[in-house]
Amino acid sequence: MAELMKIRTKLVDGSAHIVVLIIHPMETGQRKDPRSGQAYPAHFIQSVTASINDKPVLVAQWGPAISKNPLLGFRVKGAKAGDSLVIAWEDNKGEKARATATIA
């Protein structure tokens, strides 16, 4: 299976700058197949969480308005080099993904 998330971290002035590329179709359910006229079924991420050293630092609720393969960027004050970062998401079909990285 292809990698579902790509994570980049960078420490700048005592805060971690984190960027996550999530590979996901993010289908709204409103687009139609041009040949059949049937709507493509909705398939989008509903929740995203980020934790550093098992402490939640970000919880986001998403919907169908987010673009395909979304790029999420955020900063966390007080993070240190070597801290463990976990990013997890769940979509409306119950699919889940989880990725880990080390703050560098």
At 2 the pLDDT is 67
Domain that includes residue 66, residue range: 5-29+41-102
- Tokens 């990013």 sit on residue: 87
- Which pTM does this prediction carry? 0.92
pLDDT band at 3 (very low <50, low <70, confident <90, very high): confident
Q: What is the Cα–Cα distance from 49 to 92, expressed in whole angstroms? A: 15
Residue 34 lies in a domain: no
| Residue 35 resides in a domain | no
Does 16 reside within a domain? yes
Residue 53 sits in a domain whose CATH number is: 2.60.40.10
Q: What percent of the chain has pLDDT over 90?
A: 97
Report the chain's mean pLDDT, rounded to a whole number.
96
Which residues lie closer than 8 Å to 74 by C-beta, 6 or more apart?
A: 18, 50, 58
